[in-house]
Amino acid sequence: MRFRRKKERADTDSVLTAKPVETVRIGKLHEQGERSGQQDCFGVSDEALMETHGVLAVVADGMGGLADGDKVSTAAVASILDEFFLYQGKCTPEQMLLMLAQKAVEGVNELLGPAGLSKSGSTLVMGLIRESALSFLTVGDSRIVLYRQGILMQLNREHIYRNKLALDAVNGEIPLQEIYTDSRGSGLTSFLGMGALQYVDFPAEPVRLVAGDMLLFMSDGVYNALSNEELVNCLGADPEESAEQIHRAIQEKGYSNQDNYTAVIIGCQ
């Protein structure tokens, strides 16, 4: 235990003393897969404005099992990007993301109307890089992942029914094996389009970034197709080439039911 604490402190010190992030490079992946339509949507702010505004990345995955998922994901991303520049200098990054999420929820609920709530929906992951730190907010099961020194680390918690099953099992209400056998396990417990959200996820404080870090904002069509090891094998120093490698790796799988797959890859320099 003593050794582990020293190592953890050494890792923390190395982050604090490492080179701060001065610029970013961005790779983008946006493919339809074997679905009849594209229900993913994404957006990235202009990285040339990083010094004054930071860099905002958004990925929304329209729910394929429901109608008009493409319209919901597009509405969410559009409302966030439209509002992003209005809040500059008026709030902290965390407050900005909360207000942007509020706008996205309002926009989607207005699009669907009272009769359309829960008949369509979308996940949401968005992150803001500013002053060598990442602030993020997520809803649903799309992921934000940090790749640092060969290690892949998921940053957000997914809002899926399996997590509720785990709580029920710990409380002795169901057998432990039901966590893994219940067919509802991957179902979403919070998503845009349900009306009032059940959950949002955001960190207690911004995640400190250093030069050499890579961030991936991705829909489940990416991480369900590739294992963490396969994903790591696709990642290199160049985000654009990394995006192309992920695309090739998914294509090589040849899944007949391949979902839409989208990723925004940000390399910190």
The DSSP symbol for 230 reads H
Sequence-separated (6 or more) residues with CB below 8 Å from residue 25: 47, 238, 239, 240, 266, 267, 269
Neighbours of 71 (CB within 10 A): 18
Q: So what's the pLDDT on residue 66?
A: 63
Question: How many whole angstroms separate alpha carbon 83 and alpha carbon 48?
Answer: 18
- Beta strands 133-139 and 207-208: pairing type? antiparallel
What confidence score (pLDDT) does residue 87 get? Answer: 83
The helix (run of H) or strand (run of E) holding residue 24 is: strand 24-31
Chain segment 127-143, per-residue pLDDT in tens:
999 999 999 999 999 99
Sign of CA dihedral 147, 148, 152, 156: negative
Is residue 249 packed enough to be buried (19+ CB in 10 Å), middle (13-18) or exposed (0-12)? middle
pLDDT at position 14 is 57
Task: Report the top-level CATH class of 20-268.
Answer: alpha beta
Angstrom CA distances, 59 to 1, 167, 261, stand at: 39, 28, 11
How confident is the model at residue 191, as a pLDDT? 97
pLDDT tens by residue, 133-179: 999 999 999 999 999 999 999 999 999 999 999 999 999 999 999 99
- Measured CA to CA, the distance from residue 139 to residue 144 in angstroms comes to 11
Per-residue confidence in pLDDT tens, the chain, 269 aa: 333 444 444 455 555 567 889 899 999 999 999 999 999 999 999 988 998 999 999 999 998 666 789 999 999 999 999 999 888 878 999 999 999 999 999 999 999 999 999 999 999 999 999 999 999 999 999 999 999 999 999 999 999 999 999 999 999 999 999 999 999 999 999 999 999 999 999 999 999 999 999 999 999 999 999 999 999 999 999 999 999 999 999 999 999 999 999 999 999 99
Contact (CB, 8 A) for 260 and 38: yes
Q: Are strands 143-148 and 55-61 parallel, antiparallel or unpaired?
A: unpaired
pTM, to two decimals = 0.91
CA of residue 2 relative to chain centroid, distance: 35
Q: Is 98 exposed, middle or buried (0-12, 13-18, 19+ CB in 10 A)?
A: middle
User: Are the C-beta atoms of 258 and 212 separated by less than 8 Å?
Assistant: no
